[in-house]
Amino acid sequence: MEITKLIPEKRCGLVVVLTGNGKGKTTSAMGMVLRAAGHGMRACVIQFMKGDIYSGEWDGVKLLGGLVELHATGKGFCGIQGNPYPHSEHRKNAQDALQLVDQKMSSGAYDLIVLDEINNALQLKLVDLEQVIAILDNKPELLHLVMTGRDAHPEVIERADTASRVEEIKHAYRKDIEPQPGVDY
């Protein structure tokens, strides 16, 4: 069987929003990173709220041969799971992450950038709507931009080319099953 490689007549960078209360938003974005790497594309993942608990993608991206870089810029999820850091420190980290986004977007070195948990960061006022809109306004034409996290702002969804809502139907956590490596983190 011969496999056909499709090439669009006109290439354009998409904005993809992955939101909702179900499991799988970051996982979906990482699937897009894997798919991009399969096409020889360079990707960058900037995690706005993760950074205090190990997650498998941190080492997994190293296996993609340098096509993907990942920056865990946060100090965990603000205000939950006993996170000890004050809102002001979370906000400072998120503001630093925004500067990193500007650097990576303007570098021209990436085909895909994932802003993991930026929707949560916006909801928690770690970043401002005007800052997120500025990212969308300044996105290079051919760059694919993926924005994950619960509670995506309606204006961000409106500006997206593709938006998906991940809905929880059932979750092992509700049965007191601990998060499992490779599936949950």
pLDDT (tens, 9 = 90+) of the chain, 185 residues, equals 888 888 889 999 999 999 999 999 999 999 999 999 999 999 999 999 877 778 889 899 999 989 999 999 987 777 666 777 788 888 999 999 999 999 999 999 999 999 999 999 999 999 999 999 999 999 999 999 999 999 999 999 999 999 999 999 898 888 888 888 888 88
Say if 5 falls within a structural domain: no
Say if 127 falls within a structural domain: yes
Say if 41 falls within a structural domain: yes
Q: Answer whether 127's CB lies under 8 Å from 94's CB.
A: yes
Q: Answer whether 139's CB lies under 8 Å from 107's CB.
A: no
Say if 163 falls within a structural domain: yes
- Side-chain-facing half-sphere of 55: CA atoms under 13 Å: 21
Predicted pLDDT at 21: 95
Say if 73 falls within a structural domain: yes
Domain count, the chain: 1
pTM given for the model? 0.92
- CA-to-CA distance for 107 and 110, rounded, in angstroms? 8
Give the domain extent around 38: 15-167
Say if 178 falls within a structural domain: no
Predicted pLDDT at 154: 98
Say if 42 falls within a structural domain: yes
Which two tokens mark 132? 């997120």
Say if 179 falls within a structural domain: no
CATH code assigned at 33: 3.40.50.300
